[in-house]
Chain A
């Protein structure tokens, strides 16, 4: 019975039925024909179960981090951050690429999602890439990859969802992807530099003299201080023990609105209204997915899908590492077919029992899911972040594909392999800061 439910799910997804409705369709089939005797399940349990799961304060953080990200973009807070980063590395060869990458990391420390990070940094840096003569395919591919730092640097919607599904502490999950995030930053910058090795069209900004740099640093720091306070409030607030994650997200919204309105004077009342409604729609779309997957995962649990999958894996090998390798292949394929949120909501409840059964550390698995969901955003055919980047940077997909493949090959695959096979990479910070066991 469970196989038919899975086939229905896959078919619905392929035909293009919205993800949450596909989940519901698969669930509906089980409601009618599932169960031990094929008599189905009581439908009346579904919505209350989903509601109860969603009735959770930590989930509200997703909504508010998305809102904060929107305000940051519209309120020019992001732009000031990018200008600030530019002072330090803007005049290196491939410097603009480094500026964009690091900016993505900083903006990502407020935004919880890749697309928000991308549109915030992209709208500002794409014109500069053009002015400096970057190949447009490379620029768009680089930014698509860099914006995934929004997923690796906390806060991060996919890991809030992961923590919500698995009951793991969200702070430890957040910290698990920080080191991989830094590895991605370094590898992206290096790969970008390497891809530009024979390029002659890129204008390298004139090397700044030290007095110039200091003067620039003074003005830009002054302008950026209110913006720089934002990551400080969010991360400092959470890890300093002043606020819960949800409170930090609310504080970010409350702080960003007046900064955008009165300090940078980029946000109007109407603009605020629009940003908050648009963010709400993004949130609503995610939340319906969560609601539907909560209902579906309950039915999958009653049907013992994790047990069935584990049996399938074990028929190939009994070695936990080999099974983990297969799980990763599975995740990469899912990532090719879906976006980040869909992957995390569907894969986590099914795979978590297997991973625990095999004796892996759940926080280690959080990092694996984190990196995989990132990768999934840029692997075609369903590569939402790549396509968005192409649109923002006016680059045709075929020009982006080659550099993107290099980034995947030289950054993401190595980082993913390291994260999978060396658990300490992801467990280091959670262990040092929170005492999470190895």
Chain B
């Protein structure tokens, strides 16, 4: 026990969120399988700072592990994981986010350059649009939706939202609840079902599950920490997280369905669609990809199109 390592494992999701539950499970498993050589302490709900800060601290080595959104502040190419319109159903997620897939390899490469190791993904589910008033023809990108929605401050979201026919506006994250509540904006995009329900469930009236994007958190570890762990324990950790990734993908559909059920119970009108119905929306989102070349390089976007574009 003298040589026991204590790892800080930082997350951004609320204490009762599935991601946090999984983090607790992982922490427990690592403790057991390494026979107490490594102890993992979980800090959920951005207690150690928001995701971009946690990421920064992993570079420095002051936070060891994380389960967070990956920030693109050091490398714009990392917005890759947020691009809209490349997978519209849960079956596709299994191939896209597989450990031997292109996405993992690319993200691992970008992280490694910054001194962070990618261990796996927490695929939470698909992303839709929540509003306070009905949307005009949600499946037809050529019709103006007649609502003003808040988009996250990233080009990938803004461009896609506009291509799908929404008027979009950037509102600081901390103001979103109030902005919807008082009617400054009519809704949001970029929220996965679970966080739309937990943070905005009180104010949203409609939920359009259009699957234009995927909510993915990243399991990562600081390279500085990783180097201090024995090869044997590295293998243990790696295998625990590989399984967690697969688990999360398998559960993503159920999680979304369950959260939408909760929305319905709360009186929110929930609309879901088939893969075929979503084709025009996905095409519209994909039409914005060339515009991403400016920050994310033409090389990467070309490769992305080849690997994940509509076939």
Contact = CB atoms under 8 A, between A and B. Distances in A.
A binds B: yes
Interface of A: 36, 41-42, 44-45, 48-49, 52-53, 56-58, 164, 169-171, 238-246, 298, 301, 434-435
B259 interface: no
Contacts of B202: 435
B172 A56 contact: yes
Contacts of A298: 48-49
Given A36-B6, A58-B175, A435-B202, A241 B62 contact: no
Interface in B19-41: none
A242 B182 CA distance: 8
Contact of B182 (A49, A53, A241, A246): A241
- For the complex of A and B, 8 pairs with smallest distance between CB atoms: A241-B183, A241-B182, A57-B172, A42-B62, A52-B53, A45-B62, A244-B175, A58-B174
Contacts of A170: 178
B43 to A, nearest CB: 9
B184 A241 contact: yes
Contacts of B49: 48-49, 52-53, 298
Contacts of A58: 172, 174-175
A83 B220 CA distance: 63
Chain B, interface size: which category? 20 to 34
Given A169-B181, A244-B179, A298-B49, 20 more contacts: A41-B62, A42-B62, A44-B60, A45-B57, A45-B60, A48-B49, A48-B53, A49-B53, A52-B50, A58-B175, A170-B178, A171-B181, A241-B182, A241-B184, A244-B175, A244-B178, A245-B175, A245-B178, A246-B175, A434-B181
A438 B211 CA distance: 35
A242 B57 contact: no
Contacts of B62: 41-42, 44-45
A117 to B, nearest CB: 24
30 contacts: A41-B62, A44-B62, A45-B57, A45-B62, A45-B63, A48-B53, A48-B56, A48-B57, A49-B48, A52-B49, A53-B49, A56-B172, A57-B172, A164-B174, A169-B178, A169-B181, A170-B178, A171-B181, A238-B182, A241-B182, A241-B184, A244-B171, A244-B172, A244-B179, A244-B184, A245-B175, A246-B172, A246-B175, A298-B48, A301-B47
B52 interface: yes
Nearest to A164: B174
A434 B180 CA distance: 11
A366 to B, nearest CB: 14
Interface string B78-90: 0000000000000
Contacts of A240: 182
Nearest to A434: B181
Contacts of B6: 36
A173 B64 CA distance: 36
Nearest to A168: B177
Nearest to A36: B6
A245 to B, nearest CB: 7
Interface in B277-306: none
Nearest to A170: B178
Contacts of B57: 45, 48
Contacts of B182: 171, 238-241
Contacts of B172: 56-58, 244, 246
Nearest to B57: A45
Contacts of A238: 182
B182 to A, nearest CB: 4
A245 B202 CA distance: 20
Interface string B156-176: 000000000000000110110
A400 to B, nearest CB: 40
B122 to A, nearest CB: 22
B181 A57 contact: no
Contacts of A169: 177-178, 181
A434 B183 CA distance: 12
B269 to A, nearest CB: 18
Interface string B47-73: 111101100110011110000000000
A156 B174 CA distance: 17
Nearest to B183: A241
Contact of A171 (B56, B63, B171, B178): B178
A113 B27 CA distance: 46
A241 B184 CA distance: 5
A314 to B, nearest CB: 21
B2 to A, nearest CB: 11
Nearest to A59: B174
A184 to B, nearest CB: 26
A240 B184 CA distance: 9
Contact of A57 (B52, B60, B61, B174): B174
Most buried by A among B47, B60, B171, B181: B181
Residue from A49, A53, A242 with most neighbouring chain B CB atoms (10 Å): A49
A241 B171 CA distance: 14
A301 B182 CA distance: 33
Nearest to A246: B175
Nearest to A437: B202
Nearest to B171: A244
Nearest to A41: B62
A48 B63 CA distance: 13
